[in-house]
Amino acid sequence: MKKIRISAVSYTNTKPFLYGIQHSPNILNKIELSLDAPADCAQKLIDDVVDIGLIPVAAVLNIPHWELVSDYCIGAVGAVNSVFIFSNCKIADVKTLQLDPQSRSSNNLAKVLLKNYWELTPQLITNADDYGKASDANTAFVQIGDRTFGKKNDYAFVYDLAEEWAEFTGLPFMFAGWIANKPIPEDFIAEFNQALKLGLDSRQQLFKELSAIDNFDVQDYLMNKIDFNATAEKKEAMQLFLDYIRML
């Protein structure tokens, strides 16, 4: 049988899912798995290089046929602790905002919040040469994933974008979902979801294998900050987020 090609996010937030997949021999036999930065997961699904991706939800706007194939996701209810605008000045004084080349959802989330919540219009820079340096007092940057770990005390102003979204809308947020670009057999989807659930249920086992990270509580992150359930409320938040992106 032809293998199902899957691209998953290469960050710590996806490790519970990978643990479950790696401990599910029935699934391992049926898939070809690659690990990529979120922007690359999205591009692979858009280019039909994979059949399923854990892709930034903002990227579905570039896929003609897409469907969520899992009740699990990378989300947050309130602060997520790995998606930030790092800044040396208050958000109102930011003149230039560098976007994260690895992100699709959070870059758009920053744009949505700037326009509708903060009502600000800084210059936005994609692929800045000095990305992430914030060397200028009025330049800030969006950053996601493991590169943000332990950095919270390095900047005078730190905005957690899932927390800002919750304050703006009262809703949780879905950053990335397991999305297919074509119909996938039901029995595979059922087994795949069992594997993802196994990983979530095995987080205490996984923690024994993870090394400690300076100034960052990885257990708190994977138990309490990342929220893995693609609930009805998160799907509602996703639709609202897509509406805001369409209006940018």
Ligand X SMILES: C=C(O[C@@H]1C=C(C(=O)O)C=C[C@H]1O)C(=O)O
Judged by the rule CB under 6 A, the positions of this chain that interact with ligand X are 9, 11, 13, 38, 56, 74, 80, 82-83, 103-106, 144-145, 175-176
Contact indicator for 173, 166 with CB cutoff of 8 Å: yes
Assign 83 to helix, strand or coil: strand
Q: In what order do the strands lie in the sheet with 227-229?
A: 31-36, 4-9, 52-56, 173-180, 67-76, 227-229
**Whose Cβ is closer to ligand X: residue 9's or residue 97's?**
9
Query: Which one, 17 or 188, has the nearer CB to ligand X?
Result: 17
CB of 155 to ligand X, least distance (A): 16
As measured in angstroms, the least distance from the Cβ of 104 to ligand X is 4
CB-nearer residue toward ligand X: 87 or 148: 148
Q: How far is the CB of 16 from ligand X (least distance, A)?
A: 13
What ranges in the chain are assigned the alpha helix state H?
Answer: 15-22, 25-28, 38-46, 105-113, 161-169, 186-201, 203-207, 218-220, 232-246
Q: What is the nearest approach in angstroms of ligand X to the Cβ of residue 243?
A: 18
* CB-nearer residue toward ligand X: 24 or 82: 82
- What is the C-alpha to C-alpha distance for residues 113 and 137, in angstroms, rounded to an integer? 21
Task: Please check whether residue 41 is in contact with residue 9, taking contact to mean a CB–CB distance below 8 angstroms.
Answer: yes
Least gap, CB of 28 to ligand X (angstroms): 22
Q: How far is the CB of 82 from ligand X (least distance, A)?
A: 3
Instruction: Give whichever of 104 and 111 is closer to ligand X, judged by the CB atom.
Output: 104
Q: From CA 248, how far away is CA 231, in angstroms rounded?
A: 26
Q: Which is nearer to ligand X, 83 or 140 (CB)?
A: 83
Q: What is the residue type of 216?
A: F
Angle at 200 between CA 198 and CA 206, to 5 degrees: 95
